[in-house]
Structure 1
Amino acid sequence: MTAFIDPLSDERGPDGAGGGYSVYWASAERVTLSTPLQRFLIDAQFSRLRPILVTTDQAHVSSFVADAFQAAGGYWAVSHGGTMFDAFRGTRIRSFGDFWAPRPDAEIEPHPTLSRLREHTTPSFVFDVYVRDRADDRTLIGGAADLLVAGLGGAGLDRWGLVEPLAQRWTHAAVTESMRRQMPVTERHYAAGSDGSTVSLAVSRTKSGILEHVRGVVPIRDAALAPLAHTAGGSLAAHPRVLDTLRELAERNRVNVALLSTGEVEERNGSVGRLPGVRRPEQPLAVLLGARAVRDLAIDVDALAEQHDVTTVGLRRAPALIVRLSGSDPLWYQLRAFATDLNQERLASALAVEFATGDANVGRS
């Protein structure tokens, strides 16, 4: 892959606040999380610059590239006929600043093909999980990732690495040893399975142990299950696989919070990731609140169960809660209603600690 990091791209905006960016140009039609691209993202984050990936309008980026740029707050532009376009919206940008400060009077110019909703995508489960554990020699990293991939129908993880190609055989011992050498804050470690399932993991020390952040995507290969991903309402959320997987996760791990959603991936020549163009947004399916979050939020479980599809897991005195968005209303509407019933200020206060910890202290490269 031909790549070029623009040496003049770290320009600052006129006000010196938030206008800086750095650009990585990739000419290949398959863009992976190579060592140069990973270093580019780390350097951009360290320098407080917005990372921008520029590719051709035919490029396929791997799931790990998409994950890393999302975590870094990055942007993706594509070049077509000497003109730049927003890869996600399929509309022209006249400068990179249009990403974060679009001009309201600018005329919308669509790309010839990318501004239309993409077809022939593969539905997928998407998970974002925070798990606590002890900081001792007996703790192994990777069990939660294996459980989620297998529970959601994936073929199982078989290789891992810090960059692509993933060259090491997946074992909990090897991943744990790599992370132990990087503590108190690790870089993201990446793992994949033969069916296109992908996972990224990172760990940081806390006052009481460690916090593991696991993100992942599992393509839905089940012919009977895949159509539910595009069905309005909570048909997929109501499927037993969702409840069974989250229940097992809660029973076997000290989960703080987990969000399970449905999304889309696109495959090209055996690589799973995404192509430029408009796609359906991710839709939430279920939320798992661990016993600690339930306690901190002072949740009235019985009252909550009257309004939502609630399942309790664990001890009656200190339960974890699984809330499936299985109603007939739009999924994001159901999630907002759930947050409102919990008291949004308390919810934000309790969960912001975990998500802020994950963003600021857990490696996001």
Structure 2
Amino acid sequence: MKTLIEQVYGRIQPQEGTVALERVLLECYLSPGISTKALAIKCCLPVPLTAAVKREFIQAGALAQDRGVRCTPRGEAWVERHWGYRGLDKSLYHQLVAEGAADWKREVQSILVELADCYAARPQANVQLDQAKCTPETSLKRAVLCLRERAFIGKKILCVGDDDLVSVSAGFLLKRLFPGSDHRATEIEVVDIDPRFLNYIEELAAAYQLPIRCRLWDLREPLPGDMLNGYDCFFTDPPYTLQGMSLFLSRGLSALRNESGLPIFLSFAHKPPGFTLAMQRAFVNMGLTVCANYPHFNVYEGAESIANRSQMFVLRTTDQSAPEVMDSFKDEMYTGEVNRTLRTYQCKRCMTQVKVGERGETATIELLKNKGCPKCGCSTFELIRKVKQGPSSPSES
């Protein structure tokens, strides 16, 4: 039996995908009496398309035109039962998602107090894994951003690496949004290579009854089958190398549902123009669009090399999205590894080989991808060999 969203999508099939339809219905639930124009602005859709979607939901019995657009009892029941909005503190919700809500911290001050205690006892950062501790405020701000992107309540959320404890902040935010309610519609899962953080997150989840599950996994290997194609969004703050970013994005992308418009929350250091160009080329190669960029969004403790700040990208999937890394990952990805290896890459088109590293033909893979293959200009390469560089002569790794 088709769901309400599937029924409407089958009749108009917008290029924006079912995510756009979900957002229209949700905005009518959260802001009853909203005008069609305001609804189009909220959903970032053309007015004609918004009007067409509205008509289909009216025909399906989920919306009604009554001094603006609002949900019928059937529409309200759908949102509350299938998406888990029953029991929501709507006043707090609107305060948190309001455009330009600079005082959001005041509304969740009690959460920040609890998080401060949790964060004080978290494991030490392992710099060999490029870990850096973000502040409790930053972690909670990420969860609030997810809420503002309508990718939070009732969704299946994945944290691809979570030494920042975003999963814990998200769990606390859920409890605050649903006071006195047994909210079970939102699921949060963490995949990480560091058992110390996974154990600590599990301890907090048990102590505070947070809907979090943890999975110990080395992201150099493809995700297990039960984690593929089932999530609605993911967070990641990967190693600040092009290889690390591409790997973490690829693994997260493989976990998302095959749907256009799903958000990805990528935290990454501010980089020079050449590196940024290579990053954006990687986004395009994976069929991702940049929906938003927030400079200096993240604040860290003791990350002096990046001035204690990094940016937040909000990416979205398209009908052409696909991971760049599908199989086991053989390249170096952590900053310390990348800086001390001489790597040989082979052009995927003409098989020309290029050495990359301090003693190579080009210093970084970012520069190589920006310039393209010296023979054919192709910008896609495969790692075929790597040699560790010692203080005098390199040795095979």
TM-score (norm 1): 0.30
Higher Cα Rg: structure 1 or 2? 2
Which structure is higher in helix share?
2
Q: Which has the higher contact order (CA 8 A, sep 6+)?
A: 1
TM-score (norm 2): 0.28
Which structure is higher in strand share?
1
